[in-house]
Structure 1
Amino acid sequence: MLSRVIFGARVSLAVGLVAVTAAALVGGLLGVLAGYLRGWPDRVIGLLLDSMLAFPPLVLLPAITAIQSQSFLTLTPALSLLSVPGFARLVRANTLSLSKREFVDAARLPGSSPRRVLLREVLPNVVLPVLSYGVLVPAGLIVAEGSLSFLGLGIPAPRPSWGGMIASGRPMLSSSPWLTFVPAIALFLTVLSINVIGDHARRLTDKKAAAL
């Protein structure tokens, strides 16, 4: 049981971290372009993000995992796709705010190119809120992966995952409750720890952002 819980942790944490990293990169790029360029790029990207948010995740995730083969390579991009709008909107809002600041206007005066202003003035100040938000997102993705595995739409057996272990132990809940409770407690403590760390990170980044 201990070995399966530890191995299941590798699966759940890998799905959460890889999906968040991919979503932060894609969403950050879209948010920076929308917030800095404005105009029609902002409208097009905004329409794309609104379309993604309008599609129910409880329908999208089972549909993707049911159509494609159930594997790590299928589940991770699907979870990453759901996280892109949140990162993109966060980065867009911060980029819009930063583009009106005095130090950005001063960087434009010598005739610096938009790419240089983005890389040297905007992006370094957008990283902190992205990191603060990115610490919290894996908790939700780990729960989503566990839910899909519980429903039989996540990581297939015999590879252990916490959701799959909870599902496999459910028929023996009355005689062997530890088969369900041990992975459930591991999932609960992991998500709780990520949320606590994320709250501390958010407070630290808020203090640094207020000092700018």
Structure 2
Amino acid sequence: MVDLSAVQPPAGKDTATSESIRIGNARAVARHRKSIALGLAFWLPVGWLLFVILASALVPVLGPVLGLAAPNAPNFMNLRAPIGTEGHLLGTDPMGRDLLSRVVWGGRVSLTVGFAAPAIGVGIGLVLGMLAGYYRGWVDEAIGIAIDSWLAIPGLVVLLLFSVIYGGSLLMVCVSLGLLFIPSAARITRAATIGAAQRDYVMAARAMGATDLRILLREILPNIIWPLMAFVMIDIPIAIVAEGSLSFLGLSVQAPTPSWGGMISEGRDYLEVAPHLTFVPAAVMFLTVLSFNLAGDALRKRVSGGRQGAH
């Protein structure tokens, strides 16, 4: 007869195998939970942002269809109505204007500045940073001196100067805020360009006779654009808060055009009797800014994780 005990694995080996399987399963579960958490941290904010953006963009078309009152239509028979008033879901302001309508229309101003200002700053900073990081030498020094000189000017002075000279138009608010984003965007782009310019694919393109413009646009730009996108996601809430601060000071778009900062400023005199006049637009701004920050953080983690995985 054959002794079966001679072909059975030792008990210690079974224990070690079971332990390694258990550890592997635990790590897989931990990775799955982390993936779910990262997904929620990204898609929940993105869902809120899509709702706010679509509501602000489509309100001229859908507002009358849904029975939303005009943002500047007063109702002197229903001043400072509380939240939940019939016909006014979020109440009315001191002139009887519908608060929900003004919040949605105000989002058009805040979001326009939030997207346009970083686009202006990052667009100019992208060009300057790529030129400085690719050519180096005197080009890098000249652009560095210009950026350092621009950083020496207080940002508030720039905003006040544009407001005084050109008035509180939406275009000037976007341009003045956009100029403040140029230095940081240029520095990030310069650092990324220096790293990308030393890669093998850039050297191969240069050896094949590709022009500098082609190398910058076809080889370097696609490899540095994602870190810049994460940077833009952080700049957008900064621009929204800055526009709100300017509106609060009366230096942004002028009344009766609604904006979140302007609504907060209008409601500060009624905090004791009608706090919702301030807290409703402040809550919408808070959730929007928080959502941009969370989505930007999640995007930055995915980009950095992908780059580490590529290495």
TM-score range, shorter chain: over 0.9
**Matched length:** 212
1:29 maps onto 2:127 in alignment = yes
Tell me the residue number matched to 2:260.
162
Q: Residue 84 of structure 1 is aligned with which of 161, 168, 182?
A: 182
Tell me the residue number matched to 1:190.
288
1:42 maps onto 2:140 in alignment = yes
Q: Distance in 1 between matches of 2:106 and 2:307?
A: 37
Contact 1:7 1:160 in 2 (8 A): yes
- CA-to-aligned-CA distance 1:169-211 (integer Å, 9 cap, x gap): 1111111111111111111111000000000110111122231
Q: Distance in 2 between matches of 1:8 and 1:38?
A: 44
1:111-190 counterparts in 2 under 5 A?
111-190=209-288
Task: Report the CA distance between 1:150 and its aligned residue.
Answer: 0.2
Residue identity over aligned pairs, in percent, reads 48
Tell me the residue number matched to 1:103.
201
Q: Which segment is superposed worse, 128-137 or 59-68?
A: 59-68
The one-letter code sitting in structure 1 at the alignment partner of 2:194 is L
The one-letter code sitting in structure 2 at the alignment partner of 1:142 is I
Runs of 4+ in 1 over 6 A off after TM superposition: none
Tell me the residue number matched to 2:44.
none
Q: Distance in 1 between matches of 2:153 and 2:168?
A: 21
Tell me the residue number matched to 1:73.
171
Bigger CA radius of gyration: 2
Contact 1:62 1:148 in 2 (8 A): no
Tell me the residue number matched to 2:68.
none
SS, match of residue 255 in structure 2: coil
Q: Distance in 2 between matches of 1:62 and 1:163?
A: 16
Q: Which runs of 5+ in 2 are unaligned?
A: 1-98
- Return the structure number with greater helix share: 1
- CA-to-aligned-CA distance 1:32-69 (integer Å, 9 cap, x gap): 01110111111111111111111111222122112211
Q: Identify which of structures 1 and 2 has the higher relative contact order when contacts are C-alpha pairs closer than 8 Å and 6+ apart.
A: 1
Q: Which runs of 5+ in 1 are unaligned?
A: none
The one-letter code sitting in structure 2 at the alignment partner of 1:150 is F
Query: What is the CA RMSD across the aligned residues, in angstroms?
Result: 1.1
